[in-house]
Structure 1
């Protein structure tokens, strides 16, 4: 994942309402959740929910599928895993450098 993509994902999740939406969809699992149920569950006005869903869709964190007359939202687990992998990819790689600097001082 490129740093600009990671920044866009984190920016989208940096809004409390969008983070609540995303977490609800993650908890819903592969079945996803209809937009109406998401609205009822989170007590978000329809226009506000629509705006936040669009933002999450633009960065690829969620997708929507029409099932008959119902729009169902799904968390994109591949993107989520990619973001988490990006965040931890270099975990502790600077530890040797940091401890060596302390010893040298």
Structure 2
């Protein structure tokens, strides 16, 4: 991930409603949620929500698809994971990398004292 992409993603998430929208879509899973269900769940007006969806889409964090008369929004996990990897790339010299990136620790045999 390029620094400019990271700044765009972080900027899009740096607002209470957009962060709530993104977290709700992450919880919804890859199938996403209709815009109306997001509006209901977060008690946001549709025109306000449209503005927030646009900001998240422009940053690449959310994808939209039409399903009949509904627009379904879904989190883009690949970009979310790339952002997390970018932020933790040099963290503690690799000791505190995200759990998904860490290798499982080997169980060591207990040595009697």
Shorter-chain-normalised TM-score: which range?
Answer: 0.7 to 0.9
Taking the aligned partners of 2:4 and 2:70, their CA distance within structure 1 comes to 33
How many residues in Structure 1 have an aligned counterpart in Structure 2? 93
List runs of 5+ in structure 2 lacking aligned partners: 94-113
Structure 2 equivalent of residue 19 of structure 1: 19
List runs of 5+ in structure 1 lacking aligned partners: 94-105
Superposition misfits of 4+ residues, deviation over 6 angstroms: none
Matches within 5 A, 1:1-105: 1-93=1-93
Taking the aligned partners of 1:24 and 1:72, their CA distance within structure 2 comes to 13
Taking the aligned partners of 1:67 and 1:56, their CA distance within structure 2 comes to 20
Aligned-residue RMSD, C-alpha: 0.6
Taking the aligned partners of 2:40 and 2:7, their CA distance within structure 1 comes to 30
> Secondary structure, in 3 states, of the residue corresponding to 2:71?
strand
Structure with the higher helix share, 1 or 2: 1
Q: TM (normalized to structure 2)? A: 0.81
